[in-house]
Structure 1
């Protein structure tokens, strides 16, 4: 385990690669190694269906010559000198990019905190198998569950090794463990499917597999014999936390600096203006100890800080990497993430901050409405904000969840939805995107 975690050799190779690139004619360069170690076991109906194990250290070198840039990738064992010379040769014939550059030296992290992201617990394939079987067995034991779509358990770690030609050198690793199960209730055309899962940085903090299985079984049984409901306008819709997290992802996409620079965000002209209901805030913090999406520095060597992206409903920040920030006439806020050979801005530990009332109180306050547990399709236009998606869930009647609902569509515009959102207080911050249950008023529901 220690040899897998120790990144000193990789950091040395990355530094050598930069030196060779400079000798070959590069003005500046950075080298990154994306590390990955994983193993998983999947089971179905009590039998192992698959066992997988993988590990990789993927190198990328990015070189700059004036305003020209080129990137190349390689696996371990490559010839350092040949790779550096190839990257420089490519850069010499590349078109100019006025915004591509390394992060400013002044913004680089010179020291960074230990965020306790790595759990070195050894998890064997037998332990994974037993966990997956326990989750499936518990789910199948729930009355009304008729079949299994499978269960799984996984363990792994990943991280980043980064060196730049202007003095940054650092690395970090983070672990990740998970349990999941998916089951079926009902028969024939009346079958329904649902699932549950848990994912944590630390193995000991995972929910018990049997508890995950029980929750999945109970969720799917409640979905048996769904109905359609009449088409209606001005319907209040409540988003279960599971789908609420995805909705907050739409907000993150709309305030991503890359989308703003491309003019593909419906919020591109709204900086400093109110985009959420007053009193609502969205925060992003990469430095949370044991945070699910924490990182001591970003893909360019810059340490981000906690930012309130939207404060009291007012848009305050974009997610920015160095090149995106330069294109917008701004400065990076440490949100650059490596994706292959490129760097693009992204959130870290993103949260729609909770409200003051419980989910039960929020449901009671609705009277009649629709509680969504699953969304279907991709009917979201991030340029205009138009929103239309298939949905399943439960009808709310007299402030209580009643019968299951399926085959309906909800529609509105994200601009209006943001301004009509009311959050509950049940946020769960174990996910990289965290959101409480919330209600959105005034939506259109297309049913029978």
Structure 2
């Protein structure tokens, strides 16, 4: 059912391959170059109504080359490594760079910022590997555990793993490598009531280590409880009222904040927070922390995708915005240093992403926040969000529950919630129910008044 593997599949001559490609690029006139070699292997099984619906297995190996000529750059990737293919890769990439428009901010990362410390184990690679039969059993167990009521039927359930290995070499001499594993399982159920009303909900988890996954029974039972609780949802009148966002939906609000402090957005002038650095955005006492060194974290690393050393940072400290998320190019454009947040695919220049984000928990429980608010809406799911990147005006479709006198009364659906994100950030209060599960984790948050669109 399982065996231990030492690492994801990789060429034994990868360092020499990357050195060769960079040397070829320099020989053809590139001023600088970086090469990345990435391998991955994944296996997943999906089931529905007790039967296997999908079995997916994928194994890939890709090489990406980025070259710089003067103030120009180009990126090309290949998944085949014959001599002829590598020659064409280098030839095409250098030719494309010479034709590209000038970019005053393009180039390798500042050598002074590169990671050069001693490696330490972030515990992000688990060698335990299951086969397809074991994943089938796990997926079926997730599904079966959810079918606890005749009103429930399966929408889907799945389980699987993936393993990756990523190696970077630059003409400036930086070398880096990391290996990661990911195990996951999920269940999604449909609940139907006597009047024909239908609601879907589910639960899923991903972890670095297989042993850290909740049991399939726990996944199925959470999915069942969520779907059943949503039955009998009704529409409500349009109003302005307090809104409590459960962690699943509160994460999306903080995700919108992270997008707005992306250095690429700020440098383009397309962020509603572009003039807010150093200012108070959240209430006093609120912190948003990015910790790339969390053991077994889904976003943990020692350096970013340009080789820049990472560090733990409070993006929001005591309510105040302290930094942008910067890669090398965005930092140069803004006259600042990279913060170690470069993220790139093999076929594109670096973008920006965070590592392991948490919104610090507050002192009051969700129940206490509801009691203090009196009446309002709990949002458990959102869809179709719309954001004006210049003003921060935001709206989203939603469903959840109404509450009155601090107590949940009935489920609601077909509503919208709307407001201005700058105003929302300033007025949200985090609850005490923070759980660490992924790359972005928050407790529930209460916003004391939002526009709720209903009937």
Q: How many residues were matched structurally?
A: 446
Give the Å deviation of 1:440. Answer: 0.5
Q: Deviations over 1:203-239 (max 9, x none)?
A: 0010001111111111111111111222212x11000
Matched, 1:293 2:299: yes
Match of 1:306 in 2: 312
Q: Of residues 242, 246, 250 in structure 1, which corresponds to 2:248?
A: 242
Q: Deviations over 1:24-70 (max 9, x none)?
A: 21111000123321110000000000100001121110111111111
Give the Å deviation of 1:3. Answer: 5.8
1:7–1:270 CA distance, 2 compared to 1 (3 A): farther
Match of 2:384 in 1: 377
Match of 2:30 in 1: 26
Match of 1:60 in 2: 64
Mean alpha-carbon deviation: is it higher for 186-195 or for 211-220?
A: 186-195
Match of 1:83 in 2: 89
Q: Of residues 7, 13, 17 in structure 1, which corresponds to 2:17?
A: 13
Gaps of 5+ in 1: none
Matched, 1:322 2:328: yes
How does 1:77-116 map onto structure 2 within 5 Å?
77-79=81-83, 80-111=86-117, 112-116=119-123
Match of 1:51 in 2: 55
How does 1:399-418 map onto structure 2 within 5 Å?
399-418=406-425
Q: Of residues 357, 379, 382 in structure 2, which corresponds to 1:350?
A: 357
Q: What TM-score, normalized to structure 2?
A: 0.95
Q: Of residues 124, 131, 143 in structure 1, which corresponds to 2:131?
A: 124
Alpha-carbon distance in 1 for matches of 2:19, 2:447: 51
Residue 122 of structure 1: SS of its match in structure 2? Answer: strand
Mean alpha-carbon deviation: is it higher for 355-364 or for 307-316?
A: 355-364
Give the Å deviation of 1:392. Answer: 0.5
Give the Å deviation of 1:317. Answer: 0.4
Match of 2:261 in 1: 255
Residue 13 of structure 2: SS of its match in structure 1? Answer: helix
**Contact 2:373–2:448 (8 Å) recurs in 1:** no
Matched, 1:269 2:299: no
Match of 1:4 in 2: 8
**Contact 1:61–1:341 (8 Å) recurs in 2:** no
Matched, 1:227 2:234: yes
1:176–1:3 CA distance, 2 compared to 1 (3 A): closer
Alpha-carbon distance in 1 for matches of 2:369, 2:11: 49
Alpha-carbon distance in 2 for matches of 1:8, 1:166: 23
Alpha-carbon distance in 2 for matches of 1:430, 1:40: 21
Residue 90 of structure 1: SS of its match in structure 2? Answer: helix
Matched, 1:427 2:431: no
Residue 23 of structure 2: SS of its match in structure 1? Answer: helix
**Contact 1:142–1:218 (8 Å) recurs in 2:** no
Alpha-carbon distance in 1 for matches of 2:253, 2:163: 28
**Contact 1:5–1:173 (8 Å) recurs in 2:** no
Matched, 1:192 2:199: yes
Q: Of residues 161, 167, 171 in structure 2, which corresponds to 1:161?
A: 167
**Contact 2:8–2:40 (8 Å) recurs in 1:** no
Match of 1:338 in 2: 344
Gaps of 5+ in 2: none
Match of 2:78 in 1: 74
**Contact 1:7–1:171 (8 Å) recurs in 2:** no
**Contact 1:27–1:63 (8 Å) recurs in 2:** yes
Alpha-carbon distance in 1 for matches of 2:89, 2:205: 41
Give the Å deviation of 1:110. Answer: 1.4
Alpha-carbon distance in 1 for matches of 2:423, 2:248: 21
Alpha-carbon distance in 2 for matches of 1:240, 1:203: 26
Alpha-carbon distance in 2 for matches of 1:373, 1:114: 36
**Contact 2:9–2:40 (8 Å) recurs in 1:** no
**Contact 1:114–1:296 (8 Å) recurs in 2:** no
**Contact 2:9–2:41 (8 Å) recurs in 1:** no
Residue 4 of structure 1: SS of its match in structure 2? Answer: coil
Residue 184 of structure 1: SS of its match in structure 2? Answer: strand
**Contact 1:11–1:170 (8 Å) recurs in 2:** no
